[in-house]
Structure formats: C-alpha cells, structure tokens
C-alpha cells in the first residue's frame, strides 16, 4: 500500500522541484527536467506504473520527461496531487520511504 504513496510523493517532489506546465492557450505541455538519462528513465517508469505513457527527449545538456495531450496531463496531475490523505495519517512513514525509492528501483 505504501509503495504507491511513495511513488506519488516522489513524482510530486520531482514536479515541484523541476516541473513545468505550459499555457493551454498556446499548447498543452507538462514537463519535468532531469539532469541525467537515468533519472528521466526512472520517472518514465514511475509514470508507467500509473498508465501514463510519458515521452523523453534530450534538450541541451538536460533530459526532459514530457506529456503533450491534455488528458494525459490531467491524469498526471491527478496522480501527483492525490497524496494528501496518506501524509496526514503517516507522514513519517511516507517521508522515510521516499529517500529509498530511487535507490530501490535502481537495483
């Protein structure tokens, strides 16, 4: 049960730390900038856990995980914003688990 909460929390942190959403008047775009292809791949795999097929590309010396379809962007925002309840009930458990999530998945 806590694994999904940890994944959502990790995605939310990644988005809050390095994410963008473009103006829907011009073009829908949701993105998270990563400093390595491994981190972009890790985020890509996490989004797939929630049936969100993100794409990645290299931009200058960074890697960007992105979504362009409005429905997928809505799904992604729903995933990362749906972690409030577990934080109220078990903040220390979730927060303690977030730091190990990336290293657990790499092995």
* Burial 7-42, CB ≥16 within 10 A → b, else e: bbbbbbebbeebbeeeeeeeebbbbbbbeeeebbeb
Residue 48's pLDDT is 94
**Residue 56: left (phi > 0), alpha (psi -120 to 50), or beta?**
beta
- pLDDT tens string 12-41: 989 999 998 887 677 888 999 999 999 999
Q: Which residue has the higher pLDDT, 11 or 100?
A: 11
Tell me the whole-structure pTM to 2 decimals: 0.72
């Amino acid at each position: 049960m806590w694994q999904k909460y940890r994944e959502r929390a990790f995605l939310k942190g990644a988005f809050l730390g390095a994410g963008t959403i473009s103006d829907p008047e011009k073009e829908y775009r949701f993105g998270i900038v990563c400093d390595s292809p491994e981190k972009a791949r890790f985020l890509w795999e996490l989004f797939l856990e929630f049936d969100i097929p993100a794409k990645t590309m290299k931009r200058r010396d960074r890697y960007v995980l992105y979504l362009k379809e409005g429905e997928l962007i809505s799904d992604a925002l729903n995933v990362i914003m749906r972690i409030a309840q577990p934080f109220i009930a078990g903040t220390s458990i979730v927060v303690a688990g977030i730091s190990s999530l990336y290293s657990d998945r790499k092995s």
